[in-house]
Amino acid sequence: MSDAPASQEQALRQEILDKVKQYYQLKHAKRPFEPGKTYIGYAGRVFDETEMMALADSGLDFWLTAGRFSALFESSFAKWYGRRSCYLVNSGSSANLLALSALGAKTLGARRLQAGDEVITTSTSFPTTVNPIFQNGAVPVFIDTEVGTYNMDVSRLEEAVSDKTRAVMVAHTLGYPFNLDAVTAFCKKHNLWLIEDCCDAVGATWNGQKVGTFGDMATVSFYPAHHMTMGEGGAVLASSPLLGRALESYRDWGRDCWCAPGKDNTCGKRFNWQLGDLPHGYDHKYIYSNIGYNLKLTDMQAAVGVAQLAKLDSFIKARQDNYFHLLKSLSDYEPYLILPQQHPKAVPSPFGFALTVRDDAPFSRKQIVDFLESRKIATRMVFCGNIVRQPAYKGTHYRQIGELSGSDKIMRDTFWIGVYPGITAQVRDYIVEQFAAFLREKPGWKKN
């Protein structure tokens, strides 16, 4: 087949892609929603024949490592985000590991992160926002979390800083922007790096500007639950060329060479380098300036990402529509539940809709969660709750500021439900009806 004329090859490729489209229409035809029977996930992949055809197109190339689709996605996503560069990796967790590790590059001079340095973060978190701090030999400094915003209590920032502080690494929890005015001013005052974990928050804005464009780096996840997907996958975004070189090196084994996969001698002097104690002329492709990883993803994943990126704005709008509908529809139940709260400058790009059971509510979180699950409505906790209570972190070295009472409250009484684009208006109405069925029978209920 490799000797077939180009026109015949292209015709056969198109025939295959047309068959993939037909297969999608047969295999993945949408089923009608059946209230009380159809399971309503907290998240889910939203796709059509476009993604399957892109995946098949890439598979026919059989370019298994990063290739044309990866390059296209990196340039397109960086442009969409408003950052200079995008570095694809194999997960959002790897994106966090890469971003934090890159701060250890020797090229950063006196500002580089070293063992024993401190990184400020929040105590209600996904574990892999915090784990890279431990994994790089640094010390997390945990600040409490606000109930309602589920973000860092920025009033405690000055208490957290010390002469060892080098960075702030914090997520926009559930897609709700943290106070970027306060955090960026704090980082500027103390000359600290800022890493924005945007895995939950692609498309959220602060004062009209995308979150992820305020800090030195931003991280993103493309897991199926997130705003767009590649199956597995993630990215780090940055605008500094100095950080960009560090990110590329740490992602690609720690190598000093910057040749693209399958390319040689981009620098024009492959056999004319002398670095470290290596002999002059040692092959630049095998010179390592950092202790790095292999965090790259496949071109087939990137092909799915390219197709998803074309839909990202509509995905974000659907999430926001669902979020604001729930915010309005559940407002009658605020005597029992704390609904999500946003700063006036913040517009969320919600990953989920968080609810906290008030201390004096006539029911527990377990009771309402059990009820919703019995009605086929998925629920989730806010990740680790109070992360220092998790068994993995017992005996580790960290500092905490105050009692972390907000995180404890979230750990005990908060849950969230989905707002992803697969939740249609009909599904949304059913969710609201089930909240009403549970809450209106409670003692003391009356409409506001």
The 8-class DSSP code of residue 324 comes to H
Strand partners, 418: 352
Has 226 been annotated as catalytic?
A: yes
Residue tagged 């098949």 (tokens)? 56
What gap in Å lies between CA 145 and CA 151, rounded to an integer? 5
Which amino acid is it at 402?
Answer: G
Torsion angles phi and psi, residue 72, rounded to 5: -65, -45
Give Cβ neighbours of residue 252 (< 8 Å, ≥ 6 apart). 292, 294, 296
280: exposed, middle or buried (C-beta count within 10 Å: 0-12, 13-18, 19+)?
exposed
Confirm if 141 and 190 have CB atoms less than 8 A apart: no
Confirm if 353 and 416 have CB atoms less than 8 A apart: yes
What gap in Å lies between CA 305 and CA 428, rounded to an integer? 27
What gap in Å lies between CA 3 and CA 313, rounded to an integer? 42
Strand partners, 252: 294
- What SS3 state is found at 297? coil
What gap in Å lies between CA 216 and CA 220, rounded to an integer? 14
User: Which residue spans within 59-138 are E strands per DSSP?
Assistant: 85-89, 118-122
- Catalytic residue chosen out of the listed positions 28, 172, 190, 226: 226
What gap in Å lies between CA 258 and CA 295, rounded to an integer? 15
Confirm if 198 and 178 have CB atoms less than 8 A apart: no
From the CB of residue 367, how many other CB atoms can be counted at a distance below 10 Å?
14
Residues labelled as active-site residues: 226
